[in-house]
Amino acid sequence: MIDKKILTSLVSAFGASLCCITPVVAVLAGSTGMASTFSWIEPARDYLVVLTILILIYAWWDKLKPKKDDIECACDPDENGKISFWHTKTFLAIVTIFSALMLSFPYWGDSLIKSDKPKVVYVDKSQLKKISINIEGMTCKACEATVEKVANDVDGVTYIKASVDNKNAVVEFDQSKTDSKSIMKAIGTTGYKPVSYVDKDGSHKVEGIKLDKHKDMKKQTSSKCGGGKCGAGRCGAGKCGTKKE
């Protein structure tokens, strides 16, 4: 039977990396719907990392410390003189290596999803548009690679570069083939949240993955605005960009 200390370290190490592993696995499997399943674990990641390290340190200390002859333990040899594999240093070493790989996944996981093959797209330069999408939830290189992968798969996207430090993704795309809304919807399937984007006309907020309707409201008639479409209920105040009749 596996020692409880080792089992706890395995669970905590795996849990600490789930928030980064799941989106990558989902994209690789072509099932982005499961990408955000474990995003709620992210706030607890640092605590799980510390817990894993402490447990492993204690497990090794307990394994290497001198044993008293008058104390029997689960690692004592059986009637055949053999020690259970689950209580050997070899198994603990395997667990330690596995835990190290899981805890460091955010730093090397991007290599699983990145592609060295360039994307070739022929576009009319007059149709190119560049925006910067502000994204919440990215915490590592694997997160960047996941966002870049799904956005790059959108037909019409010619360039994408995500940044954890800047909490955004700079995207260039062909307006005749796609738009900002489609790109943000794609990013939203990863579990990371696109909250707004910036283009040459300024900043635009979004609700979830839906674009803000501010520009559309400017085109509405005063009668529609009077119905509260602008959210102010006062057309005369010019909130919707039209005058009260």
Give the whole-angstrom CA distance, residue 36 versus residue 191.
4
Contact 97, 60 (CB under 8 A): no
Contact 191, 208 (CB under 8 A): no
Q: Over 60: is that where the pLDDT of 135 sits?
A: yes
Q: What is the pLDDT of residues 70-129, one digit of tens each?
A: 555 555 554 555 778 888 889 999 999 999 998 998 888 888 887 656 666 667 888 999
Share of residues in the chain with pLDDT > 70 (%): 69
Q: What is the pLDDT of residues 223-245, one digit of tens each?
A: 334 444 444 444 444 444 444 44
Q: What is the pLDDT of residues 150-170, one digit of tens each?
A: 999 999 999 999 999 999 999
- Domains of the chain are 4-108 (no CATH), 119-216 (3.30.70.100)
pTM exceeding the 0.85 threshold for the entire prediction? no
DSSP-derived letter for residue 127 is: G
Apex 169 CA angle, 146 and 209, nearest 5: 80
Contact 51, 12 (CB under 8 A): yes
Give the whole-angstrom CA distance, residue 19 versus residue 22.
6
